[in-house]
Structures are given as structure tokens and as C-alpha cells.
Structure 1
Amino acid sequence: MSHDLATADVRGTTLAFTDQGPRDGVAVVLSHSLFFDHTMFEPLTERLVEAGYRVVAYDHRGQGGSAAASRDQVSMDELTEDAAALIQHLDLGKVHAVGNSMGGFISLRLAARRPDLLLSAVALGSSAEEEHQLEAFAPLVDLLGEVGGAPVVDTLLHIMFGDATLAAGGPVVDHWRASMADLGPEIADSAYQVIHRRSIVDELAGCAVPVLAISGSEDHAYPPPISDENIAQTTGGSWHRVQAAGHSVALEQSGEVADLLLEHLAG
């Protein structure tokens, strides 16, 4: 499934996005992981559109088809403001904000800070906490800034996919291996901000919108309970753990995630 990218000029940057499904459908905004782009949600988008939802999948500034950005412009706070601005720019009304990993940081921040824009928030393979593996990830980010993705692509794949997915291989792994190998040193700016993000656990206390956390049982970056029970406890929301999936649960087990998401949206 391939769709032309549109662009929106918001907050001094240009965000690339796809906008599919009925314009009068309830909107779902999909926010991607670090090292990926909006296309990681293509299988999920297809299911949501078939169910009658309007689906907007966008690229963060500094990644994918969106405009380049400096390190200080790609913090999680800046990206959250971008997401809010895009929702308002497209006049989507209240939306379901769904994000995987980095995108989940955005959906949770929207839940805490912009409940006026949300019907619900869904965090896939994500966390509300500070980075628990900062000492391990910081040298990798420094190396990315020197050499780009190609020399460390196996490490990136191990972080972003579960063991079952990597063992099975196939077109999905091959595609993202090539994509990650093609990342330039500038991706380190986004990666730096991911691992140096602040906890929003306190902000999410008394969260005013429903939150669903979906984790992968083989997540090497944010293993359960960080990516499921902890988020649910913090937000008063719910959680579900998907077997045979890692950090990119929305991509690795898209069918099961779509089922869970559609049940959540209907509720």
C-alpha cells in the first residue's frame, strides 16, 4: 500500500503525512518510532481505514519526509507541540493518538498536556519513564553521530525487533535493515533526545483521557512491565502484552495490534 505524502507547515517546520479514510470518520493519528517513518503503520492503517476511521500517519521533524531539524528542535516536548499543531491544522477534532516507542512518548505527552485534543491515547512499545538504559544507549548514539546507521545496523535491529521476528527474517526485516543502514549521522540528534527525555509519570497522574499500553513480550528496549503495566498504573488505563513481538510491536504483530486497537477505539 503506497500513498502520496502531503505536507503541512506548522510551528516553523514542514511535516509530511498521509491522510486516508473518510473525512467524516473519527480520526486516528499515528506517530512512528525512532529509526522508522510513517510507513511502519501501513498494515495498521489499512485495517483502521477499512473500519471507517480517518487515519493520519506523519513523520516527525528531522525524520522521514519531514523537514530537517537541529538537535534542540527535536526534543519530545517540541515533537508533542508539533503533533498538537498538526491535529489543529488539519481540523481533525478530537483524535485517538497512537504511537510506537518514540511516537508513544508523544501520545502520552498529549494525554497529559492536551486532553482537549484527544479521545484516547495508545502507547505501543513505549514508556512514561526516563531512559533506563542511558549508559548503554549513549555510546551508540555518539557512534551514530559519527558513522550513521550502516555500521551499527545489527545493533539497531536487535533494539527495535524481537527475537522471534529477527529469527524469522523475511521482507519486513529486510526492508527495515536497508532503511536503517541508510540513515545518516543526523539521526543521532533525534536519538539523543529520545534517550535524554524526562519522565512524565507525575504529569500523567489523574490522566483525563483513556490510555491503552500495548507491549511486546520480547521488547529489548523497554521490556515489560515498563511498556505495559507501569503505564497503565501511572495513567489509570489498561494494558495488553503481545507475544512473539519486540519493540516495534505495531509492525511485528500488526494483526493482533489492529484487533486490540479496534476494540479499544470502539469502547
Structure 2
Amino acid sequence: MVNLTESLPRPGATIRFADSGGPGRPVVLSHGAGVDHTMFEPQLPVLRDAGYRVIVWDLRGHGASALDAGTRFTADDALDDLAALLDRLGLDEHAPGIPGADDLRRDRPVLVGHSLGGNLAQALVRRAPERVGGLVVLDSAWNAGPLGRLERLALHFAAPMLSAIPASRLPGLMARASAVHPAAVAQSEALFARMPKETFLDVWRATVSLVDPQPGYRTPVPLGLIRGAEDRTGNIATAMPRWAAAEGVPEHVVADAGHIVTLDAPDAVNDILLALLATMGARTGESPATP
């Protein structure tokens, strides 16, 4: 397990993070709802060994990033936390001596987000695209995508349905819905069990609130999409293919993997992620790589 040695004081919470450092292209990993940074453990050494500067963090109310007493989780706060993390690390500052818009983009961080982390990364790109050099989304809803009537109803009733499930059963149910392989299910259940039910429901509502359709919107930075073939969470299995078609990018579907694709199929995700990052421009001071 990566030790989150750094702290970022924020209104209502203390954010814990780790930064591998070095001159490589920054890659910021944002985990999904109810889990923590350990869902990316199989990816961390691979990205570091490939020369990337890897930043991993626990969202507020998750893992080591505690909420202050009386504070509830909101999407706005979590999004501001991500922006503040970029500020703290100076990740979107233009490297001296690299002129031109293309070079500027290549020096910006790539945001890699799973589920809620992917929703937050999308929202930050939508709010401040100049701060980001690339976006990789894993098993996440398409924030700006159109929603059908049934999809809207499902989003509306998801939280009330979850609230009816006893707290003792919720972690196991979520884990079995999120992963395919027994080891991944067990790890997921242990992570879900750490979060109080009330907080998890707030997190779920926050995730839904980030879905904000905007017809015609297209991601203004290089985009990569990854999905587990067995993911049945929300509308991801239908929305992500539509997203890929609308943006004109491939959807990378990982066989024999569920919602937490990084744990179910770590080697396949590592290969896809490295290939996607290579297409998003050079690491600082280097030429673009060939995937």
C-alpha cells in the first residue's frame, strides 16, 4: 500500500495524497465512490517505472482523507479539492523554455479517474480545460451525455433504493456489483465497509449530481475511455459506447472485468493506460512516444 504522506488542509476535510516526484509527465489518479487510492495499486509501479510523475489521493471522506465533524460530502467540495491539489503541486504551471500551445498542453497533467473520480475529472476539464493535458476515464458515466427517460428515472431512484438496504449488507452488495474476481470482490468489500452508510449515500448523490447533460459538448483535451465488459453499474455500459462514438475515440473494453476494472484486470488496464498516455504527448522535455 502506498503511504499517503502529504496533507492538504481543505474546508471541512484534510486531503491525504502521495507524489512520486521527478520530471516526468504528471498523472493524477482519482478513485471511485466508496473506495480509496488502493484501487490503483496495480497501476502505480507500472506508471512510475514508465517515467511518469504519479500523484494519488484519497477523496474527502474516503480512506485517509477524513471529513471534519459535521461536514457532509458534496460534489462541489470534492471538485474544489481536486483543483486545490493541482494548485498545491503546481501541476498546471507551464515549464520554462517550452513555447507554443501544443507544448503547453503536453506539460499539463493527465487526469485519470475511475467512476466518481472520472466524473470529477470530467467536471474539472469542463470548468478549466486549460489546466489539463489529457483525460482518461475508467468505468464512469458521461457527464455531458444525453439521458433517456429511463436513465433519468434510474438516477433519481438510485439513492432511495440504496438507502433501503441495511448498512450491514451494503458493502457486500456493492462489492459484488463492482468486481468479478473473488480477490477483487474481497478487497472492494473491505474498502466499502470502511465508509458509514450515511456518508456513502451522500457520495452517491454527489456522483449523480455531476451528470449534467450538455448537447454538443465535446471534450477539449485528448480523451481515453476504458470500461470493464461486465460493468453493470448505472448506465455506463450503454453511455460509454455512445460517448466514444460522439467523440470519435475508441472505447477500450476489458474482458472478464467489472466496474472496478483496475483490480479485476490490472495487466490489461496497465497496457491500455500506458498506450493512451503515450498518445497524449510527451513527458516533460521528451518526444511523444509511440504506443
Q: TM-score, normalised by structure 1?
A: 0.85
Aligned to 2:179: 161
The question of 1:42 aligning with 2:63 is answered no
The one of 108, 128, 132 aligned to 2:122: 108
How far 1:198 moved relative to its partner? 3.1
Alignment check: 8 A CA contact 1:125 1:219 kept: yes
How far 1:151 moved relative to its partner? 2.2
- Residue correspondences, number: 255
Aligned to 2:263: 251
Alignment check: 8 A CA contact 1:127 1:231 kept: no
Q: Which stretch shows the higher mean deviation, 125-134 or 23-32?
A: 125-134
Distance (Å, rounded) in 2 between the aligned partners of 1:58 and 1:43: 15
How far 1:71 moved relative to its partner? 9.4
Distance (Å, rounded) in 1 between the aligned partners of 2:161 and 2:178: 14
Distance (Å, rounded) in 2 between the aligned partners of 1:182 and 1:238: 36
Local SS of the residue matching 2:43: helix
Aligned to 1:179: 191
The one of 193, 196, 202 aligned to 1:189: 202
Decide whether aligned partners of structure 1 residues 193 and 44 sit closer, same or farther in structure 2, where only a CA change above 3 A counts.
same
Distance (Å, rounded) in 2 between the aligned partners of 1:76 and 1:152: 22
Alignment check: 8 A CA contact 1:76 1:105 kept: no
Local SS of the residue matching 2:257: coil
Give matches, 1:76-225, under 5 Å.
76-93=75-92, 94-129=108-143, 133-134=154-155, 137-143=158-164, 148=167, 150-162=168-180, 165=181, 169-170=182-183, 172-185=184-197, 186-202=199-215, 205-221=217-233, 222-225=235-238
Distance (Å, rounded) in 2 between the aligned partners of 1:109 and 1:235: 16
Aligned to 1:65: 64
How far 1:135 moved relative to its partner? 5.3
Local SS of the residue matching 1:212: strand
How far 1:262 moved relative to its partner? 0.7
Q: Which stretch shows the higher mean deviation, 173-182 or 209-218?
A: 173-182
User: Which amino acid is 1:80 matched to?
Assistant: L
Decide whether aligned partners of structure 1 residues 195 and 151 sit closer, same or farther in structure 2, where only a CA change above 3 A counts.
same
Decide whether aligned partners of structure 1 residues 261 and 201 sit closer, same or farther in structure 2, where only a CA change above 3 A counts.
farther
Q: Which stretch shows the higher mean deviation, 30-39 or 125-134?
A: 125-134
Alignment check: 8 A CA contact 2:159 2:204 kept: no
How far 1:101 moved relative to its partner? 0.5
Quote the sequence identity (%): 30
Decide whether aligned partners of structure 1 residues 201 and 258 sit closer, same or farther in structure 2, where only a CA change above 3 A counts.
farther
Distance (Å, rounded) in 2 between the aligned partners of 1:80 and 1:71: 19
The one of 248, 251, 263 aligned to 1:239: 251
Decide whether aligned partners of structure 1 residues 246 and 201 sit closer, same or farther in structure 2, where only a CA change above 3 A counts.
farther
Q: TM-score, normalised by structure 2?
A: 0.78
Decide whether aligned partners of structure 1 residues 19 and 198 sit closer, same or farther in structure 2, where only a CA change above 3 A counts.
same
